[in-house]
Structure 1
Amino acid sequence: MDTRLIQLLVCPVCKGPLQRTTDGAHLLCMADRLAFPIRDGIPVMLEGEALPLDEHDQPITGATTGQEL
């Protein structure tokens, strides 16, 4: 994913900045402690698809935010 594109994207919850994980699989919102997945090079910026972060700022796989659309 292009770094310039990431700089344009914001968290859909708080409108804050996002960071890419080292493996490039998620975009992180540190303010909301959420990880938004990147699937096939496309960021999925839906609150219902976001994963919570653990104490090491890693996405907790298999977890959900509990938000229903």
Structure 2
Amino acid sequence: MPINQELLNILACPKCKGAVAMVAEKDGLACAACEVVYPVREDIPVMLIEEAVPAEKWAKGIRNAKD
């Protein structure tokens, strides 16, 4: 089940409070200002700063902040 558009409209980056957008694969929410992606696990966005993956790593297929 995809993330509801209403939820996407109210979600914000916890670090900068800016807008986030669904990535093409629909498995993360990207913050362009912070250049990070917050993962979506089991249709739940994980909006924790410590779980954010740098966009550069995300593009390489890394989906875990600890990798």
* TM-score, structure 2 normalization: 0.82
Partner AA of 1:51 in structure 2:
V
Cα pair 1:34 1:59 within 8 Å, conserved? no
Deviation >4 Å, runs of 4+: none
Q: Which residue of 2 aligns with 1:41?
A: 43
Cα distance in 1 for residues equivalent to 2:23 and 2:34: 15
Alignment gaps of 5+ in structure 2:
none
Compute the displacement of 1:64 (Å). Answer: 3.3
Cα pair 2:51 2:64 within 8 Å, conserved? no
Q: Which residue of 2 aligns with 1:5?
A: 7
Higher helix share: 2
Name the % identity.
32
Alignment gaps of 5+ in structure 1:
none
